[in-house]
């Protein structure tokens, strides 16, 4: 229902729009006929008006018939909508049942998902335990291999120890036999001593040996009265010797401790000396390397600077010789030095004025020097100074000219890049609009072939709107270009007049049917659509002409600037410097300065 109401409203709006267009077209045609042909073309305008009104009346009648058909279709659609509501209620009941079933199925799915998640967690735990068991088994196998290797080493050590034990047992048996013999000898000697000294003390074998060894040789002469005194004196001396030995041992311990401490200090100092020697050697090597590098760099730099100074001095000498030869050979007359005002009126003379000021200051300084040193200096020296100053001025002017040429070339390159960007933008917009126009034309043809007039009305309205949007976009891009380049492009009034005349001619040729000139015409729907399409193509063609006109203005400006630069390069001495040269100046400004 809503769609039918919208269609009815659209049809009514279309009828009103067509009536309004009919009135506007009638007025426009009358005005154009009065402007172009005067009263002689009134008959043609009247016929055209009658044809348009007849076609519009037929269209209104067809639209009324379509409106009646739409009302009938509306009633039918209302009945179908009631049936659809009933079907919708049944489907809603079925949907509620399916929703309940889906909820139960979701519960079951969640239960099964929980069980599956538990099974997965158990599986992961078992996998982790199996991995840990494998790691433990690998660790145990590694430990077992280490234990086996250790066991082999210990078994080899045990064999070596057994061999040593066998040798030691043999040595022990020999030593035991020797100790038995020695013990018998010691017992025998100690029994003799005991018998001679009448002692009855029980002593061990080691004590007996010590006592026998401590006894002097004279003590073996038994039953001698002087031996007791001698033994007492020896015991006193022995006590003194023991005391001195204890003192010496304590001093020796202190000396050993001091020696160990001093050895530690000496080792630490030796290590420090080694590290310091290494650092010193490394520092000396680095300093030598750096010194060699600096020396080589300084030598190379001095050689380069010397060569550069020699080259500069040679160039200066050559230029001075050339300038002196030119000054001697050619003496320019005074009337040739005056610039031609007619040739230089369109050039900015800022650098020339500066060079003139510099020459005046240089000539004043030279005059002062010559006045001060007139008595001492000769005329040749003054002339040489004047020639040198002139050569320096010429060099400075040439450098300024080269700088200005570089600036001009950079500005021209920038302008060329900008023009290329504009060309690309215009071509892209043109291709885009042509593609959109081809698409709209294809849609229009398909609608003409497959649809009725009612179906054609809405797409034609859409195509009108699409074309208007495309033209608005193009006009918007044109306005942006004109606002961005407002200071660069100037459109003359003559061009505006030519464009207006083109618009009027295309407008008249667009609305006058060529068949009506011959006196026979059939008002058909296809002819009406072709006229509308032809008018749209005329609008697009006109806009393309405007864009191409702007591009021609830009290219003309570029070639004017290029010709101006070429004239400056061909005659640099006549035009002077290019300080205030503006490659983006409008063509009118350049024409005012005499550049054509």
Q: Which of 198-212, 440-454, 469-483 has the lowest mean pLDDT?
A: 469-483
Question: Is 530 found in the same domain as 462?
Answer: yes
Give the pLDDT of residue 12: 81
Does position 342 have pLDDT exceeding 60, yes or no? no
- C-alpha–C-alpha distance, residues 134 and 121, integer Å: 20
- Shared domain for 433 and 549, answered yes or no, is yes
> 345 phi and psi, to 5 degrees?
-75, -20
Burial of 543 (0-12, 13-18, 19+ CB in 10 A): middle
223 with 315, same domain?
yes
Domain boundary among 158, 183, 208: 183
How long a stretch of residues is the chain? 596
**Full domain range(s) for residue 71:** 2-183
With respect to residue 302, please indicate whether it lies within any of the assigned structural domains.
Answer: yes
Q: What is the mean pLDDT of residues 357-369?
A: 48
Has residue 361 been placed in a domain? no
Residue 402 lies in a domain: yes
My answer on whether 174 and 229 are in the same domain is no
| pLDDT at 443 > cutoff 50 | yes
178 vs 201 pLDDT, higher one: 178
- pLDDT value of residue 445: 81
| CA 66 – CA 528 distance, rounded (Å) | 19
pLDDT of residue 91: 92
How much is the pLDDT for 95? 92
Same domain, 224 and 153: no
Instruction: Check residue 540 and give its pLDDT.
Output: 57
Q: What is the pTM of this model?
A: 0.20
On whether both 473 and 544 belong to a single domain, the answer is yes
Q: Which of 328, 350, 377 is the last residue of a domain?
A: 328
Q: What is the pLDDT of residues 86-140, one digit of tens each?
A: 999 999 999 998 999 999 999 999 999 988 999 999 989 989 999 998 998 899 9
Asked which of 38-47, 200-209, 315-324, 549-558 is least confident by mean pLDDT, the reply is 549-558
Cα–Cα distance for residue pair 281/417, rounded to 1 Å: 63
Most confident of 19-23, 198-202, 267-271: 267-271
- 474 in Cβ contact with 429 (< 8 Å): yes
Residues 33 and 162 in one domain: yes
Query: Quick one: average pLDDT of 39-63?
Result: 75
Q: Is 338 inside any structural domain?
A: no
Confidence check: pLDDT of 158 > 70: yes
CA-nearest of 576, 577, 573, 593 to 585 is 593
382-422 residue pLDDT tens: 677 677 777 777 777 777 888 888 888 888 888 888 888 88
pLDDT for residue 317 is more than 70: yes
Q: Say if residue 449 is in the same domain as residue 584.
A: yes
Is 399 within a domain?
yes
Q: Are residues 434 and 562 in the same domain?
A: yes
Total structural domains in the chain?
Answer: 3
Do residue 430 and residue 576 come from a single domain? yes
Give a yes or no: residue 355 inside a domain.
no
Q: How far is CA 143 from CA 92, 132, 203, 484, in A?
A: 74, 16, 58, 86
User: Who has greater pLDDT, 222 or 15?
Assistant: 15
Kindly state the tokens that stand for 326. 């030119």
Last-in-domain residue among 274, 309, 328: 328
Specify the residue for token string 């000496």: 266
Task: Report the run of H or E that residue 301 belongs to, with start and end.
Answer: helix 226-329
Q: Are residues 170 and 244 in the same domain?
A: no
Q: Are 424 and 282 found together in one domain?
A: no
Tell me which of 508 and 533 has the higher pLDDT. Answer: 533
Query: Quick one: pLDDT at residue 34?
Result: 66
Query: Can you tell me whether residue 478 is helix, strand or coil?
Result: helix
Q: What is the pLDDT of residues 212-236, one digit of tens each?
A: 777 776 666 555 555 666 677 778 8
**Residue 105: inside a domain:** yes
Any domain includes 70: yes
Across 9-18, 160-169, 196-205, the highest mean pLDDT is recorded for 160-169
Please check whether residue 8 is in contact with residue 458, taking contact to mean a CB–CB distance below 8 angstroms.
no
113 exposure class (CB count in 10 Å sphere: 0-12, 13-18, 19+):
exposed
The mean pLDDT of the chain is 71
In terms of average pLDDT, the best of 26-40, 250-264, 358-372 is 250-264
Supply 115's token pair: 């069980």
Contacts of 459 (CB under 8 A, 6+ apart): 443, 444, 447, 451
What proportions of the chain, in percent to the nearest 5, are helix, strand and coil? Answer: 90, 0, 10
């Amino acid at each position: 229902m809503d769609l039918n109401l919208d269609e009815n409203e659209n049809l009514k709006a279309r009828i009103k729009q067509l009536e309004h267009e009919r009135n506007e077209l009638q007025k426009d045609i009358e005005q154009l006929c009065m402007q172009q042909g005067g009263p002689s073309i009134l008959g043609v305008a009247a016929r055209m008006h009658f044809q348009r009104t007849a076609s519009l009346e037929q269209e209104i009648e067809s639209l009324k018939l379509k409106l009646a058909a739409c009302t009938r279709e509306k009633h039918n659609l209302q009945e179908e909508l009631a049936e659809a509501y009933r079907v919708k209620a049944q489907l809603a009941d079925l949907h509620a049942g399916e929703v309940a079933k889906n909820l139960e199925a979701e519960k079951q799915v969640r239960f099964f998902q929980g069980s599956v998640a538990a099974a997965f967690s158990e599986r992961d735990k078992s996998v982790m335990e199996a991995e840990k068991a494998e790691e433990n088994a690998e660790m145990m196998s590694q430990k077992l291999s280490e234990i086996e290797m250790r066991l082999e080493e210990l078994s080899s050590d045990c064999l070596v120890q057994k061999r040593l034990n066998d040798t030691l047992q043999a040595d022990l048996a020999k030593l035991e036999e020797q100790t038995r013999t020695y013990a018998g000898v010691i017992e025998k000697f100690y029994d003799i001593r005991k018998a001679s000294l009448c002692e009855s003390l029980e002593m061990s074998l080691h004590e007996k040996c010590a006592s026998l060894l401590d006894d002097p040789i004279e003590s073996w002469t038994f039953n001698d009265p002087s031996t007791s005194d001698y033994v007492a004196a020896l015991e006193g001396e022995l006590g003194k010797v023991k005391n001195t030995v204890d003192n010496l041992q304590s001093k020796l311990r202190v000396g050993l401790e001091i020696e160990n401490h001093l050895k530690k200090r000496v080792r630490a100092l030796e290590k420090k000396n080694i590290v310091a020697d290494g650092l010193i050697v490394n520092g000396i090597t680095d300093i030598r390397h750096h010194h060699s590098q600096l020396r080589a760099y300084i030598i190379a730099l001095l050689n380069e600077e010397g060569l550069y100074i020699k080259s500069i001095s040679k160039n200066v000498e050559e230029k001075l010789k050339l300038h002196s030869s030119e000054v001697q050979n050619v003496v320019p007359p005074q009337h040739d030095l005056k610039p031609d005002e007619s040739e230089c009126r369109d050039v900015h003379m800022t650098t020339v004025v500066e060079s003139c000021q510099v020459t005046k200051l240089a000539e004043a300084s030279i005059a002062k020097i010559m006045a001060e040193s007139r008595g001492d200096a000769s005329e040749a020296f003054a002339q040489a100074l004047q020639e040198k100053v002139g050569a320096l001025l010429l060099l400075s002017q040439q450098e300024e000219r080269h700088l200005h040429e570089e600036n001009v070339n950079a500005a021209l390159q920038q302008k060329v890049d900008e023009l290329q960007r504009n060309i690309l933008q215009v071509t892209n917009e043109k291709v885009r609009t042509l593609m959109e126009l081809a698409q709209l034309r294809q849609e229009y043809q398909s609608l003409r072939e497959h649809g009725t007039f009612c179906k054609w009305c809405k797409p034609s309205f859409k195509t009108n709107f699409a074309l208007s949007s495309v033209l608005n976009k193009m006009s918007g891009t044109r306005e942006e270009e004109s606002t961005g380049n407002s200071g660069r492009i100037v459109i003359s009034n003559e061009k505006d007049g030519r464009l207006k005349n083109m618009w009027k001619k295309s407008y008249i040729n667009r609305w006058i049917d060529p068949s009506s000139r011959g006196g026979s015409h059939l008002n058909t729907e296809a002819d009406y659509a072709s006229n509308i399409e032809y008018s749209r193509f005329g609008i697009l063609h006109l806009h393309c002409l405007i864009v191409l006109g702007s591009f021609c203005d830009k290219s003309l400006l570029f070639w004017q600037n290029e010709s101006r630069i070429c004239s400056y390069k061909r005659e640099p001495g006549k035009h002077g410097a290019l300080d205030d040269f503006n490659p983006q100046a409008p063509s009118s400004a350049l024409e005012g300065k005499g550049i054509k």
